[in-house]
Each structure stands twice: as C-alpha cells, then as structure tokens.
Amino acid sequence: MKTSDKGVEMIKGFETLHLKAYLCPAGHYTIGWGHTKGVTPTQRISLTQAEVFLNEDIRTAEVCVSNIAGLKQNQFDALVSFVFNVGAQAFRNSTIRRLIVANSGNPAIRDEFMRWVYATVGGEKVVLPGLERRRKEEADMYFKNI
C-alpha cells in the first residue's frame, strides 16, 4: 500500500518546509519536511532535495506500517504520519502497534495515539501542543469510516 495524497499532505502540513537546518523542540537538527537523518547544523537544501528526503522518509514509514495486515487506506495514512514522526523502531515496540495488530478497530487505539505528545526539552518531559494537534488528527483519520 502507498500513502495517499491526503496522507502526504497531512505530513507536510505538520512538518513545515525548512530549506535550512534548524533545531526542533526535541533537540534534533531537522531540514525539509521533518527530515533528521544525517542533518548538520549549517546544512541547506533545495526544494528538490526536500522532496527527495520526504519521499525517502515516507517510504521508510510505509515499509514499517506495511507489516500490518488488513488496514484501510485512512488507517495506513494515519499510521505512516505517526511513524514518520516517532520513528519506525519506536512504533515497532509500541503498545499502539500491538493493539492494532490484535484488533485494528479497538477504540483504545485513539488513547494510544494521544500518549505520544511528549518531547524532552531541557532534560524535562513536556507536552508539545503541535504534537497534541497532530495525534488528534492522526487518530481522527485512523478512525474515519470505522
């Protein structure tokens, strides 16, 4: 399965395009639409390179989510956005993944999305309002038409 245009737009909407590296609230150098792998503090990229990074990062998230059978397109898109943001390893080891594999319609999955709204800032775990909005939209997309 591939991420739909709606799923890609959701990711782009939450990630915001940056052609110059910046330090995100969680302390990671980031560029393009949320790309973090190998980013250096002074790095600059073109829009074309930002698209390449975005497509690579989405593909990585798709591979991770593709291991779950029976997902509808909206569920797949929501989970790709989630994995794009939290990372494949974190998702593989998560309660949300275990709940989805056991029963993709379990209402408790919505609560699990909302557990992923924290970042460590200055050594302290804090709620990021942007993550709260993202998780709510991902959960709403996941449960659309269920």
Q: Which are the catalytic amino acids?
A: 15, 24
How many Å apart are CA 19 and CA 31, to the nearest integer?
Answer: 6
Residues 54, 59, 65, 71, CA torsion sign: positive
Residues 78, 134, 94, 99, CA torsion sign: negative
* 27 three-class SS: coil
How many Å apart are CA 30 and CA 66, to the nearest integer?
Answer: 26
The amino acid at residue 145 is N
